[in-house]
Amino acid sequence: MDEQRRVADFVARHGLETPPEYRLLDLTSEVGELAKDAAESTGYGDTPADLEISADELGDALFALLALADSLEIDASEALEDALEKYERRLDGADTPGSPTE
């Protein structure tokens, strides 16, 4: 994934390397900011149609996720492909509880 390589290059260029456990904490924090946007924009769920998520905050979460994947030496493209295949199997009914593909 070109985006993962761009994030890895940015991290290396700016000396931002850190262990995966800190990357995970950063990702959790960034996803929390998305939740905060959602909570505040919808009046804490009273008006769900008013949902607003900042593209900037979504970008921060994506950066954090790709940095985590890189720090774990996981190819984000392959992980995404595996997830899409898993969801496809579920939608096809092949991934039911107790099935060997679970």
Please give the residue that has the higher pLDDT: either 99 or 73: 73
Q: Is the confidence at residue 58, as pLDDT, over 80? A: yes
Taking only the tens place, the pLDDT of each residue in 76-93 is: 999 999 999 999 999 998
Q: What is the pLDDT of residue 27?
A: 98
Distance CA 7, CA 30 (A): 16
Confidence of residue 99 (pLDDT cuts 50, 70, 90): low
Q: What residues does each domain of the chain span?
A: 2-74
Res 44 pLDDT > 60: yes
Task: State which H helix or E strand residue 27 sits in.
Answer: helix 20-41
Q: For the range 54-59, what are the long-range contacts, defined as Cβ-Cβ under 8 Å and sequence gap of 24 or more?
A: 57/30, 57/33, 58/34
